[in-house]
Amino acid sequence: MDTISLTSPADFHCHLRQPPMSELVTPHVSKGGFRLAYIMPNTKPPITTTVQAIEYKKQLQKIEPNVEFLMTLYLSPDLTPEEVKKAKAAGVVGVKSYPRGVTTGSEGGIESYEVYYPVFQAMEEAGLVLNLHGEVPSDATHNICVLNAEIAFLPHLLKLHTEFPKLKIVLEHATTRQSVETVKSLGETVGCTITPHHLAMTADDWAGNSWHFCKPVAKFPDDRQALQDIIREGHPRFFLGSDSAPHPPKSKSTAMPSSPCAAGIYTSPILLPLVAHLLESFGALHRLEAFVSTNGRKYYEYEVPQGTAPVKLERAPLQIEEEWKLDGDAVVPFWAGKQLNWSIAQ
């Protein structure tokens, strides 16, 4: 197989930031082969209201008119059942929950879910999706650190699904076998995104390399295996969410020992070739369209618009750029300088 034709690839977890960074990275969504991007709300300040979400969508559309942007709100005390209804009416698709302090832009994250039950009730009724960053904060007294923060979160997912069985809930960027097994065991309303970098890495890859540091961190080889296996078997509730997260190079390098680097890995501009390369490496290339388009679109009920031209991949080497720049801004992609086996056909 030397060419692949894909129906309207959709990235169901993407960070596009604000100007000037958004001007650099937003065009990379289509450059990376995608026609739909589900946009995270952890901007500064975060997107907590419908008005902000609509304004943010307009900004992004102005930069890149050829991509469909699905917007989300940041779960916070600002979010009321009334605002949920307003958001739904305005076309907002989901609400993202960040436990407090676990990753980039999570300073205003939640500490307990119970207080949000009226909001979740309204979301369930309106048909908004709850997107979960599935990690609990580190806590030495309970033996929690980055290594087990995701597994320790799974009881929250179980409880939310039990309380709100009709609420669509997506466990974002799963990294462990336990998460895969948990999502599989739950009902049809629970979905799960998987990033390309978690299909590629284990803990060995971010140990000593801050460019490979993201949250949740990549775990054991067996965890990576579970992520690869669930894609290869074609489970319909698992789909691509790149979690592509641009950071300025100075916040990813650790030239100074005083502070750790920002969590996040940038994959947008190479996303489709990277995913094809990875899926082929573990014998799942026949699931490419399901993983990058069909499964996620079905879960979110975003059918491919009629008349959409397919995106074509060809088996041709793609040298990954060392850096992308625009004016004073720059961003370094995952696997910078490496070569992928697939390119987007021009």
Residues at the site binding a copy of itself, with contacts judged by CB under 8 A: 138, 140-141, 143-148, 202-204, 206-211, 213, 217, 219-222, 224, 252-263, 332, 336-337
Q: Which is nearer to a copy of itself, 126 or 203 (CB)?
A: 203
Smallest distance, a copy of itself to C-beta of residue 148, A: 7
Nearer to a copy of itself, 262 or 270 (CB): 262
Nearer to a copy of itself, 84 or 263 (CB): 263
Question: Can you give the chain as a three-state secondary structure string?
Answer: CCEEEECCCEEEEECCCCCCHHHHHCHHHHHCCCCEEEECCCCCCCCCCHHHHHHHHHHHHHHCCCCEEECEEECCCCCCHHHHHHHHHCCCCEEEECECCCCCCCCCCECCCHHHHHHHHHHHHHCCEEEECCCCCCEHHHCECCCCCCHHHHHHHHHHHHHCCCCCEEECCCCCHHHHHHHHHCCCCEEEEECHHHHHCCHHHHCCCHHHCCCCCCCCHHHHHHHHHHHHCCCCCEEECCCECCCCHHHHCCCCCCCCCCCCECCHHHHHHHHHHHHHHCCCHHHHHHHHHHHHHHHHCCCCCCCCCCEEEECCCEECCCCEEECCEEECCCCCCCEECCEECC
In whole angstroms, the minimum distance from the beta carbon of 204 to a copy of itself comes to 5
- Closer residue to a copy of itself, CB minimum distance, 92 or 263: 263
Q: How far is the CB of 205 from a copy of itself (least distance, A)?
A: 8
Smallest gap from residue 308 Cβ to a copy of itself (A): 35
Min dist. Cβ of residue 78 to a copy of itself (A): 29
Q: Which is nearer to a copy of itself, 228 or 294 (CB)?
A: 228
Which of 27, 264 has the CB closer to a copy of itself? 264
CB of 110 to a copy of itself, least distance (A): 20
